[in-house]
Amino acid sequence: MDQEIWHSDSSREVEMSKEDAQFNDWNAVGKELDDLAHALKNLSKHSGIPLESVKEHLVLEHVFFWNEPRRASFFMHDIQGPLHTTEFEDRVDVLLFIPEKWTQNDHMGLLPEMNKYRNGKNLPDYNDGRNQYVLFVSGSYTHEREIGVKGVDKIITINQPRLCLELVKIVRKLGYPV
């Protein structure tokens, strides 16, 4: 086993190999691509939509193809509406790929810098819990310049490659624009 990764299974934490976690991530990517393929197949050949418009508005706007600035915009702006709602928090609580005890990983120095930033604003450190992790991610993108840590997007996507995909789904299911 390369590295131990902790995932929640119901009410208990279970050990998962890095390879198993990566396999789960690739399955999530495959599902996103299946969803995109389904949307493309359902376009009517009589719709009259030019191929360039399909590429620009359906394919490249799909979350799978988002670039760093678009992901940052999602975490800084789009997620803010639902972020503190009970419905959003309940759905985040069941995202088992986010470790409940996520603060055991310092996220390449990002967590200590964000906690220092929060303390300077008289806010407490981040705590364990999946919703706290999402708040940490959103805050990290939002305050990247102030905390002086470069590469927030890389740090987050290395630690949680599925996070943006899954959160976009939740935000859309709750009826918020993305």
Q: Give the strand pairing for 12-17 and 4-9.
A: antiparallel
**Would you tell me how many other CB atoms lie within 10 Å of the CB of residue 161?**
17
The region, left, alpha or beta by phi > 0 then psi within -120 to 50, assigned to residue 128 is: beta
pLDDT tens for residues 86-136? Answer: 999 999 999 999 999 999 999 999 999 999 999 999 999 999 999 999 999
Q: In the chain, where are the structural domains located?
A: 4-173
**CA triple 132-84-127, angle to 5 deg:** 15
8 A C-beta contact, residue 124 and residue 34: no
> What does the chain come to in residues?
178
pLDDT tens for residues 29-75? Answer: 787 778 778 777 777 666 777 777 776 666 667 788 899 999 999 99
The C-alpha torsion from 160 through 16 and 31 to 10, rounded to 10°, is -90
| Termini Cα distance of the chain | 38
State the pLDDT confidence band at 12, using cuts at 50, 70 and 90.
Answer: very low
**CA triple 161-162-163, angle to 5 deg:** 95
Tokens of 66: 């988002």
8 A C-beta contact, residue 71 and residue 153: yes
pLDDT value for 26: 77
pLDDT value for 8: 37
Helix (H/G/I), strand (E/B), else coil: 176: coil
How many Å apart are CA 144 and CA 141, to the nearest integer?
Answer: 5
> What is the pTM assigned to this prediction?
0.77
DSSP secondary structure letter of residue 105: S
How many Å apart are CA 163 and CA 32, to the nearest integer?
Answer: 13
In this prediction, residues 25-29 reach a mean pLDDT of 73
C-alpha of 99 from chain center: 13
